[in-house]
Each structure stands twice: as C-alpha cells, then as structure tokens.
Structure 1
C-alpha cells in the first residue's frame, strides 16, 4: 500500500462538474493498493498519516501532525501509484490490486483515519475524478504501508 501525502491549504474532488468532497487545511492522500495488501497495512498506514509531523510549530519546525493542527484529510484512490514504467512506454498496472480486493482496503484505510479522530473526506472509488490540490510548501511524501 502506498500513500502519496501532500500538505494542503485546500483540496477537492469533482466528478462531472460537481464537487463531491472538499477540505481546508490538512492533507490530500492519494492511496494506491497493491495485490496482497492487508487490513493491517491499511491501519498502519492510516496511523502513520494521521501522526505524520509535517506542519510547522511556533518555531517554524515541522513538528505538528494533522491532528495537532485540527486539519482534515481528503483520500483519493489511485491505482496508478502502482504503475510500472520500466519496460516500454505504457505503464503496467499488474501490481495494483483488482477493484474487488482494493475497495475494502480503501474503506479500511478511511475508517482507520477516522478512528484517529481526523475528519475525512473521500473521492469516489473507481470514478474518473478531477482532483484539485493546493499544495502547501510544497510538502509531498511517499509512504509505504508495511512496517519495516
């Protein structure tokens, strides 16, 4: 499981010209799920995201989490995070979990974030979306869902 985490001043998801989700200050998480991922990986990654200290404290140091600053999280499913471009010019998505495997883990990740006490908005699984991200910093990190 991979989460591309971006610190934002705001983020939103649009489908067919309609805004379906929006947040203010917080994190936009683009979530990729690979074949064989587990609910344990989803819980681990959600806890990591919610506790990630990437917001500035009074001294300007990255010492505060989204929970500490009262922020929100927008989660968007993105199987393309497991696109393999090493061969040829068209990505292979063979490592990405099929929808019937990925969707329950996507839902488990969101539930685990909510258990951390963070307000969560979400995109629509398997939909074509326009994702608007006002990255703050910019601060962008790639996290893996398995504890090392």
Structure 2
C-alpha cells in the first residue's frame, strides 16, 4: 500500500461539477492499493500519516502532527500510484489491486483514520475526480507499507 501525503492549507474534491468533499488545514492523502495488501498495511499507514510531524510548531519547525493541530484529511483512491513506467510509454497497472479488493481496503483506511479522531473528507472510489488544493510548503511525502521508500 502506498500513499502520497501533501500538507495543505485547504483542499476540495469535485466530481462531475459537484463538490463532494472539502477540508481546511490538514493533508491530502492519495491512496494506492496493490495485490496482497492487508489490514495490517492500512493500519500502519493510517497511524503513520496521522502522526507524521509535518506541521510547524511555535519555532517554525516541522514538529506537530495532524492530530496535534486538529487538522483534517482528504482521502482519494489512486490506483496510478502502482503505475509501472519502466517499459514503453504507457504505464502498466498490473500491480494495482482490482476494485473488488481495493475498495473495501480504501473504506477501511478511511475508518481507521476516523477512529483516531480525524475529520475525513473523501472522493468516490473509481470516479473521475478533480482535486484542488493549496499545497502548504510545499510538503509532499511518499509512504509505502513495504517501506520501499
């Protein structure tokens, strides 16, 4: 399982011209699920994201977490995080989990974050979405449950 974390001042996801979710200060999480991912993977990533110290403290150092600042999280499914671009010019997505496996794990990830007291907004699984955000910093991090990076 992989996530891209972006620290944001605010973010909105729009589907077919209708705002589906919006957050104030916090983070946008793009979530990619691969074959073989489990509840253990998503629990580790959810805990890691919520507790990442990427928000400024009184001295301006990244020393506070999403939980510390009472921030919000926008979670969007993103199978393209498992796009393989090593050959040819069109990415291959064979490592990405099929929808019937990925969607329950996506929903479980959302629940895990909510259990930690974080307000969550989401997109719609498999929908074509537009994500608007004001990236703060910018701060963008990559996390992988297999700890590949």
The TM-score with structure 2 as length reference comes to 0.97
- State the Cα distance separating 1:145 from its structure 2 match: 1.9
Q: For residue 18 of structure 1, what is the aligned residue in structure 2?
A: 18
The TM-score with structure 1 as length reference comes to 0.98
Q: For residue 28 of structure 2, what is the aligned residue in structure 1?
A: 28
Aligned ranges 1:68-147 → 2 under 5 Å: 68-146=68-146
Q: For residue 49 of structure 2, what is the aligned residue in structure 1?
A: 49
Q: Aligned equivalents of 1:76 and 1:142: distance in 2?
A: 15
Counterpart secondary structure, 1:100:
helix
Runs ≥4 residues deviating over 3 A: none
- State the Cα distance separating 1:147 from its structure 2 match: 6.0
Q: For residue 64 of structure 1, what is the aligned residue in structure 2?
A: 64
CA shift digits 1:118-141 (9 cap, x unpaired):
111111000000111210000000
Q: Which runs of 5+ in 1 are unaligned?
A: none
Q: Which runs of 5+ in 2 are unaligned?
A: none
CA shift digits 1:23-45 (9 cap, x unpaired):
01000000000011001101110
Q: For residue 5 of structure 2, what is the aligned residue in structure 1?
A: 5
CA shift digits 1:83-106 (9 cap, x unpaired):
000000000000000000000110
Taking only aligned residues, the RMSD between alpha carbons, in angstroms, comes to: 1.0
Counterpart secondary structure, 2:93:
coil
